[in-house]
Structure 1
């Protein structure tokens, strides 16, 4: 029997779960075991959806972040139109924008006068997927770093409510505090700004685990860009708080390595950077 932090149950069929998917800057050493069936479902419902988010595709293209398929991601609008009504596919690659005539089955040269403008109406961005993913990462990374103490002392069900977010039956009883890349922090809320800078200081994918006196906060970045933050109630006094865990724990996937530091160490690094 293996404990699965996603379902909060033991499973007879565990499988390794990349806490941050490879397609979003993860690493083969940053994994835990979870229930296979749930992992497959949540992987397509959350990880896959975020990895193919139109904005995220630009970061994946820039970083060359590929998943198990090894296919290089390119932001693509499959159904656009030129001003004369010609249906085209538009790709925003690192080498620039390219247009493909879907009717004539050929590339359109940038010198073509028709290529100066196009329109599209089918780009969809799910603003809820950010926090669903952050909640999922919070569960996995919290268990990876703190083990059973995380499950015993953190109100992990609050993360699960967000991870399993059902738009048809919106959870009304969540007491979590949340921010995503699309939300502006409240005026005077300096801690969110600091955590955001901490996630982005390494220009890589990262997870910041930040216990306070009564809460457990998790901030996540993918490919150097802040994605979101969630804080839930916690008995933080029962969590380890020294050495690599002083004030919290930080995990960065940088230069194809999993690097782990105390929150205090990253705080000092950030201060030094800001003073330069």
Structure 2
């Protein structure tokens, strides 16, 4: 058995937020799910901002390999360095260009975002975080087979593989139904003000909703069928449970306490 980071260090995780998993599962999921999200352009921007490093302790680099300079579409690679500006590598001359050489010219870049990467990552986190928060209750009372199916979704998956599923959800790119839009906006605010990564779990009469934030950004929520009669509702579980990860440290609190803390922050900002 290996100790698996529920949210990897490269995405703002903590050594305190782990569960034991089989070694083969660890490697497979790490490459297929965690890696897809950790290395996409939008996430890399946040990793650079938060200096979120993985086990290698390498500084996150935002590199746009498919870039071109000027009207002649000269092939270049662009490194985004925040306040330090950009660094441009000329593929033809094999050197970094001076600022005067790129001033006044147009730079165009292309990048790809996995259409299902965020939902798959939220499903993976929900499987582990649900057990971390609720223990055996999660294992025996939740339809985690539906989470596994989503986590393993690929271009080879068939529609019938998901027939009769009750699993529903959104990611940060999904158009929300009117009834859910306000809740998604609230979750986005919570994740932003936590200033790190987080998992927010809430209970319904026949479901669990697990939401995931990565480095200050809500990336998605899943509504999972469950039998919740015996789940805890008091103390740190009042209205739901929150795991907040900031600077490598973990804190747990109730949803009610998080809402109260956010309200106080907003009141202070209003003066």
Matches within 5 A, 1:195-274: 195-274=187-266
Asked if the contact 1:66/1:72 (under 8 Å) is kept, the reply is yes
206 and 239 in structure 1: CA distance in 2 versus 1, 3 angstrom threshold: same
Higher helix proportion (structure 1 or 2)? 2
| 2:168 matched residue in structure 1 | 177
Over aligned residues, Cα RMSD in angstroms?
A: 1.7
Asked if the contact 1:198/1:208 (under 8 Å) is kept, the reply is no
User: 2 CA distance for matches of 1:264 and 1:82?
Assistant: 51
| 2:38 matched residue in structure 1 | 51
Asked if the contact 1:176/1:233 (under 8 Å) is kept, the reply is yes
Asked if the contact 1:17/1:34 (under 8 Å) is kept, the reply is yes
| 1:109 matched residue in structure 2 | 98
Matches within 5 A, 1:1-276: 14-83=1-70, 84-94=72-82, 95-113=84-102, 116-121=105-110, 123-170=111-158, 171-173=161-163, 174-189=165-180, 190-275=182-267, 276=270
Q: Measure how far apart 1:66 and its partner are.
A: 0.8
44 and 105 in structure 1: CA distance in 2 versus 1, 3 angstrom threshold: same
Asked if the contact 1:61/1:72 (under 8 Å) is kept, the reply is yes
Can you list the C-alpha shifts for 1:105-128, whole angstroms capped at 9, x where unaligned? Answer: 21112222576212334x211020
TM-score (norm 1): 0.89
Q: Measure how far apart 1:101 and its partner are.
A: 1.1
User: 1 CA distance for matches of 2:4 and 2:74?
Assistant: 44
User: 2 CA distance for matches of 1:37 and 1:50?
Assistant: 20
Asked if the contact 2:12/2:247 (under 8 Å) is kept, the reply is no
User: 2 CA distance for matches of 1:113 and 1:251?
Assistant: 45
Q: Which runs of 5+ in 1 are unaligned?
A: 1-13
User: 1 CA distance for matches of 2:141 and 2:45?
Assistant: 38
TM-score (norm 2): 0.91
Q: Which has the higher contact order (CA 8 A, sep 6+)?
A: 2
264 and 96 in structure 1: CA distance in 2 versus 1, 3 angstrom threshold: same
Can you list the C-alpha shifts for 1:170-193, whole angstroms capped at 9, x where unaligned? Answer: 343232111101113211323333
113 and 152 in structure 1: CA distance in 2 versus 1, 3 angstrom threshold: closer
User: 2 CA distance for matches of 1:201 and 1:250?
Assistant: 13
Asked if the contact 1:207/1:251 (under 8 Å) is kept, the reply is yes
Q: Measure how far apart 1:243 and its partner are.
A: 0.8
263 and 100 in structure 1: CA distance in 2 versus 1, 3 angstrom threshold: same
User: 2 CA distance for matches of 1:227 and 1:56?
Assistant: 10
Q: Measure how far apart 1:214 and its partner are.
A: 1.5
User: 1 CA distance for matches of 2:120 and 2:235?
Assistant: 31
